[in-house]
Structure 1
């Protein structure tokens, strides 16, 4: 995939908004005991939090920021740690993009403390008159009847689920906070039990009925908890990890998928599966970046199953390249296509840079027909490993020239721009897969000038249709064949860390797998192999809901990983592909099944 180009486009489209919204709900992050952060105020503010908790003690005519008197540090006043930094922010024209709440938790006698706070705040009219800054008093508070005696910019934290009868006093309430532990003992790991979940839901419902923002204090502080509380529409998410919480919540829109795409699961007959019968045709499907978690996510989003997950012969491929722990698609594709480990970026050459014969060339020598399909550019790293020999994957013109010189019978994919004179191509060039004519000798279909759009961008059922049409075309030749089908964009969305894109592409890839399995059931000498060149993004799926087709994904990187990738096989002798082995060993196993010997 042209990763740099696509990630740039993706960023232009405005990914990474600060808010995760459901209808009119917008989460806000509350930095609990913010003064205990390594850098008070600045760390949380730079992370994008909406509320900062400040414990204050009135002593010696100063308002110190501390939880207890013994913890007081002379320089740590509310002015030095919070008011001055906030003023500096405004003076430097760092405009507040959202409201900031200073939740001032009074730890000393409330009346004298608040009187001194008001005295201090009179020196900060730039803050008190700013509509985006709120001052809310918690902890030690005056009597409710006295709320109205404080300036308009002072509001109070109401810690009950009942409304204050005095409307004027109620108008001074800026927040409702209650102790989470009164309703649940869930610690943020696993799942909240049903009866406690109902209690928590009821509390939130009551608070929202009072039309005030709501917060739990003493709540669990983990990714699972943050996700649950946003799902339950808690207004302020309480955390001691403001940077981690905001980073996690900002990314939810890309990491949570409610999938509409559907792959109808085909139940194989298994009539020829694992039988020691002759194999003539090989259908090799490569899901670029398609690791175990990617397959799991697609299956779970698809109602719990895929056609792929029906298969019984399963193995794993080790993916390391000759020069790196983590392979790229070029070296990974070359290892599969040639049986040779090579350096990253190499296409069809060994570590010494010399061409290595690929499976297409080997089989063509034995009167096989070969077809190649991708939903990206046909000159991309994976498909080109099946026909090209270049020292670097970026040598597009040379790779295109290698396709022209190859003896393959069929190609389908994007990348037309790399072929300067299409009229000289030794293929009958078609505009779409529907135009493929069975009687023609060699056919090429350019699906795009560059890469193809993703399935979420309207690509349609291209991959399955191309697979079905290509199988019919190759079968009509009445010769054994190899068809390689690449689902390229699972990898693309892995680089984007986009859960929905990964799942949508995975489900779309399964539709192509379905066409291959159906063909194998109808043509008994066909062996289907489904694998990947590498895993992308360190993908995991911490949470989800099968019934709602919801999956939350998480990521460790925007790059590839060194994880093994699964291999599924179906058809005669598929059991010979089971086990754990190097990706470069796959070709030898295929040739052994086909009873083809090489001189190398």
Structure 2
């Protein structure tokens, strides 16, 4: 098969192709020059000396050190503004961030349990009445201890941090009524599967029905006035067997353990030697009181917690770490409380920065502190706690 010879490109067409190729190359070169000029303009210093002497030490320092530093500061500032804007957006759009993050209040319309998928953790909800939904927010986070400050007003027990900031509700409406309803629902017999009495009374947590919930009542006024009001309002829990109590010889743990501190009258708590269902919050840093002929002053028959202010008993952490002396004090206090059969709690723990807070939390858990005092329910719920059961009866 014969092949025809290739025809040469006419001279005028070859000149046109070369011209087009040169034009494209020139355009690409101009584009690269424009890009380089733009980049160089970013780093170009506007100081007259740097412009007049571009290769001087001052101009080189300005281009290589000063300007990159300012750009880095600008980027960090923008990121910080974006973070603040995101937090503000969450605050404005989410009615209840805590319940938005935590499991829903009722995951199933066919279940009486409101704490499905909630794992109990050793957190104490400090000043729990400041939550958007007192008690419920703490239970949704898995806290096994909640705190309410109470003030006597006539025949009522008001809840609040001070006289001027009391809530519209009372201890009965904010805590006792909702808690009693939860326990009644959890212990209601089913038509198809009646509750087996030998299994005991169920608590508030579906994942651990035998976990007791501690209700810490802080007496803010005269304890002699609050005491009869509190004992009267606990009668419904007492009648249904929901309260942990001392029967004269042993502690019988039930779904709710009531602990009193603040101006709580220790003499009224220990008045009866055969029955007690309100326990004392003993001073952790002063457990070495002279023992009576009946034994130590603070013991499981009259006390449940042993608490102290972290800042006063342990001190500040200027180096963001516990010193050897502070760690020794912590271990000594924890050991003294556990030897008496009491559970340890510190309040006033560092809350910021978050890294320091988490370090203190981990150290407290590692050293055997039984509950972690917290104002940040979300942070506590996300913490990787050691998985084991606490205070079963």
Normalization by structure 1: what TM-score? Answer: 0.36
Tell me the SS of whatever aligns to 2:330.
helix
Query: SS at 2:333's partner residue?
Result: helix
* Aligned partner of 2:181 among 88, 94, 97: 88
1:184 to 308, 314, 319: 314
Counterpart secondary structure, 2:186: coil
**Which of 107, 115, 133 in structure 1 is aligned with 2:220?**
107
User: Relative to structure 1, is the Cα distance of residues 231 and 61 closer, same or farther in structure 2, using a 3 angstrom cutoff?
Assistant: same
Residue in structure 2 matching 1:56, options 135, 150, 158 = 150
TM-align CA RMSD:
2.7
Question: 1:344 maps to what in 2?
Answer: none
Aligned in 2, Cα 1:146/1:39: closer, same or farther, shift over 3 Å? closer
**Aligned equivalent of 1:79:** 172
**Matches for 1:200-215 after TM superposition, within 5 Å:** 200-215=330-345
Cα separation, partners in 2 of 1:57 and 1:83, compared to 1, 3 Å: same
Alpha-carbon distance in 1 for matches of 2:254, 2:381? 23
Contact kept? 1:35, 1:54, Cα under 8 Å: yes
In structure 2, relative to structure 1, the CA distance for the partners of 1:113 and 1:188 (3 Å cut) is farther
Cα distance change, pair 146–206 in 1 and its aligned pair in 2 (3 A): closer
How many residue pairs get matched? 229
Question: Matched residue of 1:108: which SS?
Answer: coil
Alignment of 1:476-491 (within 5 A): none
The 3 A distance-change label for structure 1 pair 105 and 231 is: same
- How do 1:408-447 residues align onto structure 2 when only pairs under 5 Å count? none
Aligned to 1:158: 282
What is the Cα deviation at residue 83 of structure 1?
A: 0.8
Q: Following the alignment from structure 1 to structure 2, what is the Cα–Cα distance between the partners of residues 71 and 60?
A: 17
Q: Secondary structure at the match of 1:249?
A: coil
- Provide the residue aligned with 2:18 in structure 1: none
Classify the secondary structure of the residue corresponding to 1:196: helix
Unaligned runs of 5+ in 2: 1-116, 188-201, 245-252, 352-356, 388-393
CA radius of gyration, larger in? 2
Partner in structure 2 of residue 248 of structure 1: 383
1:237 pairs with 2:372: yes
The TM-score, its normalising length taken from structure 2, stands at 0.53
CA distance in 1, matches of 2:379, 2:327: 25
Does structure 1 conserve the Cα–Cα contact (< 8 Å) formed by 2:269 and 2:279? no
- Runs of 4+ residues deviating >4 angstroms: 16-19
Larger fraction in helix: 2
Q: Report the counterpart of residue 229 of structure 2 in structure 1.
A: 116
Kept in 1: contact 2:118–2:141 (CA 8 A):
no
How far 1:215 sits from its partner (Å)?
0.9
Distance in 2 of aligned mates of 1:93 and 1:210: 33
Relative to structure 1, the CA distance from residue 42 to residue 218 in structure 2 (aligned partners, 3 Å threshold; closer, same or farther) is same
Match of 1:128 among 232, 240, 243: 243
Q: CA deviation at 1:123?
A: 3.2
Question: In structure 2, how many angstroms separate the alpha carbons of the residues matched to 1:188 and 1:148?
Answer: 45
Q: CA deviation at 1:249?
A: 3.4
Cα shift at 1:51: 0.7
For the structure 1 residues 201 and 83, does the alpha-carbon distance in structure 2 shift closer, same or farther, using more than 3 Å as the test?
same
- The corresponding residue for 1:469 is none
Q: CA deviation at 1:187?
A: 4.9
Quick one: distance in 2 between partners of 1:108 and 1:225? 32
Name the residue aligned to 2:60.
none
With over 3 angstroms needed to count, the CA separation of the structure-2 counterparts of 1:137 and 1:146, relative to structure 1, is: closer
Question: 1:198 Cα deviation (Å)?
Answer: 1.8
**1:189/1:224 contact within 8 Å kept:** no
- Please report how far the alpha carbon of residue 18 of structure 1 lies from its aligned counterpart in structure 2 after TM superposition: 4.4
1:174–1:213 contact (8 Å) kept in structure 2: yes
What displacement does 1:188 show? 9.6
- Preserved contact between residue 57 and residue 64 of structure 1 (Cα < 8 Å): yes
Q: In the TM superposition, what whole-angstrom CA distance separates every residue of 1:524-571 from its partner, at most 9, and x where no partner exists?
A: xxxxxxxxxxxxxxxxxxxxxxxxxxxxxxxxxxxxxxxxxxxxxxxx
2: distance between equivalents of 1:153 and 1:103? 13
Q: Name the structure where strand makes up a greater proportion of residues.
A: 1
**1:226 touches 1:249 (CA, 8 Å); kept in 2?**
no
Shift of the 17–133 alpha-carbon distance from structure 1 to 2, 3 Å rule, reads closer
**Match in the other structure for 1:66:** 160
Kept in 1: contact 2:269–2:280 (CA 8 A): no
Cα distance, 1:196 vs structure 2: 1.7
Match of 2:260 among 116, 137, 153: 137
User: Does the aligned pair in 1 maintain the 2:215–2:258 contact within 8 Å?
Assistant: yes
